[in-house]
Structure formats: C-alpha cells, structure tokens
Structure 1
Amino acid sequence: MKAAVLKAFGSPLAIETLPDPVHGTGEVIVDVVAASVLPYAGEVFSGERGYLLDLPVVPGAGAIGRVRAVGPDATRLSVGDWVLCDPIVRARDGVPTPDITLQGLSARGDGGLLLQRYFHDGAFAEQIRIPTENAAPIGPLDPADAGRWAALHLLLVPYGGLLAADLRAGETLLVSGATGNFGSAAVAVALAMGAGCVVAPGRNEKALADLAERFGPRVRPVRLTGDGDEDRERMKRAAPGAIDCVIDLLPPQAGTAPVRAAAMTVREFGRVVLMGGVGMGGGDDLGLPYPWLMRNSITVRGQWLCSREAVPRLTALIHSGLLDLNHFTVTDFALDDANEAVAHAADEKGRFRLTVIRP
C-alpha cells in the first residue's frame, strides 16, 4: 500500500510503498477514504509539540473509511461497512484506568507508548489496522461526502464535554472559546442537542457575527473586553436567564483570566466542564474561589476527549438532520500531496474548515 511516512522530526513526509497491514483477532483492516489533517499537525511533525511518537511512523489521527477485513471475533461488522476509525486506542488490560495512545499522533505516558508500538501507524495511508472496537459504524454515505464526515473527529471533542456536562434540552450553555475550531463546533453540537440558548463570547467580532448569522437567535454573541469583572457581567446579561452550564475550549495561549470569568457566570448548582489547553504551557492557576464553589454547589469537571458511546450518538444527530455537516468547507488532497495538505491545514485553519487526505 502507499503511505506517507514521518522518518524524523522536522523532515517532510516521505511517500512510500509499505506492506499491506495484516490483522489478527480483535482487529480490523479499513480502506481509508478520508483522513483528517489537524491544523497543528505540522507542529507535531516538526517536534515542536514534543509528542511521544515512535519514529518512523505513518501519522494521521483518525479517518473515515470502509471495512476491508475483520477478525474472527467481529459479529456485527461486515466488509464494505462505512466506519469512523477512532484514534483513541485503549489498552484492554487496564480497567478502570487503561493506558491510552492516539494512533498516528501521540501516546500518554510509558504505557501508552508501549501500546503505540503495536498500534503504530495512522491514517495517512491507503489502509489502516485498528482495534475492532475502534471501527465505529456510521451508516451508509455517499463516498463524495466522506471528507465532510471527517468532521466527526472535530465534533466529538466538544460532544464528549457536553455529554459529561449532562447538557439537557432547553438549557442555556456558555461556550468559552466559541470563536475557535473546537468552540464553534461546540456551538453547533449544543444546538443540535437542543440547547435553548448558547452564549458565545469572544474578541473576534467577525467570527461572532458569523456564528449569529449561521445559527440564528439561539446564539447570543458577546464581545469580550479583557476586563474579567466586566466580561462576566456581559456574558450574564446576554443570557435569557440563568446560565446552566459552561464548557471551556480555549487554547493554551489564552491564559486563565477568560476561563475564570466564563466559569463564574454559571448559576447555583451549575456545571463547568474544562476541556481546553489553558495551563499546559505553565502560568497561573485557574484559581476558582473555594467559597463560591461550595456555597453555590458548583460542579467542576475535567474531560479529555470523549467516551466510545459518543460516536453512535453523534452519528444519530447527523443522520437525523439535527446536526448539519454542510456547515463545513472541505479541502481534499491526494496522498501524494500529504505535505501540501499539512501546510494547508496550518494556513487555512478556522471555524468550519476541514483539510483531508483522500488516499
């Protein structure tokens, strides 16, 4: 099979012919139709992000594809089925805290790196071998739409947070970081889940206007000033009533001040879910006040990505028409042009934009 190979950090991807992957029990071979290219993929491949990645490797975290072959323990999957290739690979002997690797991207700790050495190569290839449980059926679709369905990998991140928050129909949600890639996806997903109102704060007035125009009056944009107290009051005033839930998806460079301001808009007995990158590069602690948390019975939860059951539930929202993938603009690249795809993903990153490789 043809694949893009990262041989050393800082070197371009090499397009090579590799042996076809061979599956065993508990594994599936998938023909890759559309592989997502992360906006920060170039930072990973350069070594800038310092991700644990055993080289040489076929990179690429996740794909949309069709089942080519299944192991003897698969009872529901059939050859030709359309599936999401979930890159979150969990060790099978670590319940309730399994080691994890993101296939084709990174590992979490030594156990995750050990797991990565087996489920090694990612989706920038014509075929990929994945655990059976990581081949999530997504139902029939037009092959021309496979690139747009690659948006699942983006949408599943905020969806995991909203499930963790137990967001309910009719509730008011505040999305901290609403003008970013994950934040704008959270707005779309929350509305599909039935949120009565989504408060969308940010500094990019053009992006805020786009969200309001794209999704209508249930979205309440708020321009942030940088003053924590003022911004907190602005966000509260934008909501039609109490804010039931806050989800934070801000990147590391945002700092803690806007996260704190957003979190402290939530009502008594409200929920706050933290999913962003704030603090990963050091800096101040979030510092939510103990008396405020205790006296208002606030629930604060961290959430990393999503659980496996999130995939069929999100897929159902799409097939029902509640979540429209046509919001996404997709740019396709051939596998031979993988390096151009990585550069494009970095240059053209933005709300509702996808870069995919079509092997």
Structure 2
Amino acid sequence: MKAAVLKQFGSSLTVQTVPSPVLGTGEVVVDVVAAGVLPYAAEVFSGERQYLLTLPVTPGAGAVGRVRAVGPDSTRLTVGDWVLCDPTVRSRDDALTPDITLQGLSARGQGGLRLQEHFGQGSFAEQLLAPTENVFPIGAIEPGDAGAWCALSLLLVPYGGLLAAGLQAGQTVLISGATGHFGSAAVAVALAMGAGSVITPGRNEKMLDELQRRFGSRIRTVRLSGEEDADRERMRGAAPGPIDAVLDLLPPSAGTTPVRAAAMTVREYGTVVLMGGVGMLGGDDLGLPYPWIMRNNITIRGQWMYPREAITRLIQLTRSGQLDLRQFDITAFDLDDANAAVAHAATDGRHFSLTVIQPTTPR
C-alpha cells in the first residue's frame, strides 16, 4: 500500500510503498477514505513541538473510512461499515491509569512509546491498523461526506473537556482560547450540548465577530487587553449570570496571564478544566491562589483528550442534528500531495475549515 512517511524531523513527507498491515486478534484494518491534517502538523514534523514520536513513521491522527477486515473478537463491525478511527490508543493491561499513544502523532511517556511499536503508524496511508475498541461505526454516509466527518476528531478534544466540566444544558461556560482552532470548535460543541451562554474571550476581533455572526445571541464576545484584572472583570461582565465552568484550550505559545484571568472568573463551586498547552515548552507555571481555590470550593481538573464513551455520544449528537458538520469547509488533497496538505493546513488560518488527505477514492 502507499503511505506518506516522515523519516526524520525537519524533512518532508515521502510517499512510498510500505507493507500492508497484518490483521491480528483485537484489531481492525480500515481503508482510509479521509484523514484530517492538524493545523500544527508542520510544527510536529519539524520537531518544534518536541512530541514523543518514533521515526520513521506514517503520521496522521484519526480517520474516516470503511472496514476492510476484522479480527475474530469483533462481533458487531462488518466489512464495508463506515467508521471513525480514534487515534487515542490506550494500553489494555491497566484499567485505572492506562498508558496512551496518539496514533501517528505522539505518546505520553515510555509506556506510550511501547504502544507506538505496534500501533504507531497513522492514517496518512491507504490502510490503517487500529485496535478494535478504537473503531466506531458512524452509520451510512455519502462517500463525499467522509472529509466532513473528520471534524469529529477535532470536536472530540473540546467535547472531552466539556464533559469533564460537567456542562449541563442552560449553563454558562467560558472558553479560554475561543478564537483558536480547538477553542472555536469548543464553542460549537458547547452550544450543541445546550449551553445557555458561551463567553468567548480573545484578541482576534475578526474571529470574535465571526463567532458572533455564526452562532448568534448565545455568544458573548470579550476583547482582551492583556491586563489581567481588567480582563477578568470584562469576562464576568459579559456573562448573563455566574460562570459555571471554564475550559482552557490556549496553545503553548500563550502565557499564563490569560489562563489565570479566565480561570478565576468561575463562580463559587464552579469547575475549571485545563486542556491547553501552556507551559509545555517551558516558561512560567500557572499560579492560582490557594485561598481562592479553597474558600470558593473550586474544582480544577486536568483533561487530556477524552473518555472512550465520548466518541459514541458525539456521533449521536451529530446524527441527531444538534451538531451540524456542514458548517465546516473541507479542502481535500490526494495522498501523493501530502506535503501540500500539511502546508495548506498550516497557512489556511480559517476557523471551521478542515484540511484532509484522501488516500483512497470514496465509494
């Protein structure tokens, strides 16, 4: 089969013939129809992000495709099913604290690197080998819609954070980093979950205006100044009432000041979920006042990715029509043009747009 291979950090992808995956028990082989390209993929491939990734590797985190073959322990999946492939591979021998690798992207620690030895190859290929539990039926779709369904891989990240926050219908949530790639997706998911109001702070006025235009009166935009106390008061003032939860999705390049300003807007007994990348590349750590946390009974929770059941629930949210994938603009590239796809994803700059690679022809 053909695949795009990263041989060393800083080099271009090489499209070449590689061995087809060999099916084993507990595994599924999927014909990849569409694979999303992250906006920061070029930063990963250059080594700038310092992700744990064993080379050479076929990158690509997640895919939409059709089942090619299933192992003997699969009782529901059948050949030809349209499926979403989740890149979050968890070790099976520790139910409480499993090691994790993000297939075709990165690993968490040495245990994650061990998982990469078998499940490290990603979706920029004609076929993908995935654990059975990472392959989710999405029901019948039009072949040309496969690229749009790749949006679920993006939406799942903030969905995991909103589930961790315990967001309920009618509540007010603040999305820190709302003008970013994952942050703007979080706005769409929060509204689909029934949030009464979503506070969207940021400095990108064009994107703030776009969020307001796209989603209407439940969006409350806040233009940040960079002055922590003043910004905190602006965010509180924009909310129709107490802010029930804060979800932080700011990238590694952001400082701690906007994270802290947003986090401390949450109401008494509220929840703050940290999912961003602040501090991952060095710099100051986030300092939140002990008395404020204790006296206000604040719950602060870290969340990396999402629980497995979130995938089925998000598929249901999409099938119900609460989450509309038609709002995403898809730009598709053939596998042979994988480097052009990575470059496009890095420079596109539009929110609610997706770059996808199509290794096989939709059918």
**Matches of 1:349 and 1:133 in 2, distance apart?**
34
Query: Structure 1 stretch 35-44 or stretch 151-160: which is displaced more?
Result: 35-44
Structure 2 alignment gaps of length 5 or more: none
**Matches of 2:173 and 2:197 in 1, distance apart?**
6
**Matches of 1:27 and 1:69 in 2, distance apart?**
9
Q: Taking every aligned residue pair, what percent have the same amino acid on both sides? A: 72
**Matches of 1:304 and 1:349 in 2, distance apart?**
24
Query: How many residue pairs are counted as aligned between the two chains?
Result: 359
**Matched residue SS, 1:32:** strand
**Matches of 1:233 and 1:50 in 2, distance apart?**
36
For residue 345 of structure 2, what is the aligned residue in structure 1? Answer: 345
For residue 151 of structure 1, what is the aligned residue in structure 2? Answer: 151
Pairing 1:188-337 to 2, within 5 Å after superposition: 188-337=188-337
Structure 1 alignment gaps of length 5 or more: none
Normalising by the residue count of structure 1, what TM-score does the alignment of the two structures yield? 0.98
Contact 1:248 1:275 in 2 (8 A): yes
For residue 174 of structure 2, what is the aligned residue in structure 1? Answer: 174
Pairwise CA distance, 1:349 = 3.4
Pairwise CA distance, 1:284 = 2.0
**Matched residue SS, 1:195:** coil
**Matched residue SS, 2:118:** coil
**Matches of 1:306 and 1:339 in 2, distance apart?**
29
The one-letter amino acid paired with 1:296 is N
Q: Which runs of 4+ in 1 moved over 3 A?
A: none
Contact 1:28 1:131 in 2 (8 A): yes
Pairwise CA distance, 1:127 = 0.4
Pairing 1:108-119 to 2, within 5 Å after superposition: 108-119=108-119
**Matches of 1:169 and 1:349 in 2, distance apart?**
31
**Matches of 1:154 and 1:183 in 2, distance apart?**
10
**Matches of 2:289 and 2:350 in 1, distance apart?**
34
Normalising by the residue count of structure 2, what TM-score does the alignment of the two structures yield? 0.97
Contact 1:157 1:182 in 2 (8 A): yes
**Matches of 1:45 and 1:252 in 2, distance apart?**
16
The one-letter amino acid paired with 2:197 is C
Contact 1:180 1:350 in 2 (8 A): no
The one-letter amino acid paired with 1:3 is A
The C-alpha deviation readout for 1:199-234, integer Å capped at 9, x for no partner, is: 111111111110011001000001111111111111
Pairwise CA distance, 1:121 = 1.2
The C-alpha deviation readout for 1:206-263, integer Å capped at 9, x for no partner, is: 1111001100100000111111111111111111111111101111111111111111
**Matches of 1:70 and 1:85 in 2, distance apart?**
13
For residue 67 of structure 1, what is the aligned residue in structure 2? Answer: 67
Pairwise CA distance, 1:107 = 1.5
The one-letter amino acid paired with 2:22 is V
Give the root-mean-square deviation of aligned CA atoms: 1.0
